[in-house]
Amino acid sequence: MRKKELKLVITFHTTADAMAMEKACKENQTPGRIIPVPRAISAGCGLSWCADLSDREEISEMMKRAGIEEEEMHECMV
């Protein structure tokens, strides 16, 4: 297994929201990718957006512009 790093992980209420996030990020060339929600955050399944901590501000601003609502924003080891 590769070594874990501290990352920004954004969770969503629905899969549709996660897909909206991926689409908006691609369109805006915002960094990150879809990963399964880490169990450290929730055991409840689903998709989340994973990116470097340093991209947090850029991502937040893009989400505001695109009207994408997160469930929570976490910093965790993934």
Partner 1 sequence: MIYMDNAATTMHKPQAVIDAVIAAMGSMGNAGRGANEASLSASRVIYNTRDKLCRLFGAESPKQIAFTNNSTESLNIAIKGLLKPGDHVITTMLEHNSVLRPLYEMEKKGVKLTIIKSDEKGTFDLKDMDEAVIPETKMIVCTNGSNLTGNYIDISKVGELALRKGLLFVVDASQTAGVFPIDVQKMHVDVLCFTGHKGLLGPQGVGGIYVREGLSVRPLKSGGSGVQTYSRTHPAEMPTALEAGTLNGHGIAGLGAAVDYIQEAGQDKIREKEQSLMRRFYEGVRDIPGVKIYGDFRTWERCAIVTLNIGDYDSSEVSDELLTEYGISTRPGGHCAPLMHEALGTVEQGAVRFSFSHYNTEEEVDKAILAIRELASD
User: Interface with partner 1 by CB under 8 A: which residues?
Assistant: 13-20, 22-23, 34-36, 43-47, 67
For residue 51, what are the β-bridge partners? 8
Residue number with CB closer to partner 1 (20 or 76): 20
How does DSSP assign 31-70, residue by residue?
--EEEEPPTTT-SS--EEEEE-GGGHHHHHHHHHHHTPPP
Nearest distance, CB of residue 12 and partner 1, angstroms: 8
Which secondary structure element, helix H or strand E, spans residue 14, and what is its range? none
- Minimal distance, residue 39 CB to partner 1, in Å: 11
Indicate the residue among 29 and 57 with the shorter CB distance to partner 1.
29
Nearer of residues 59 and 68 to partner 1, judged by Cβ: 68
DSSP 3-state of 7: strand
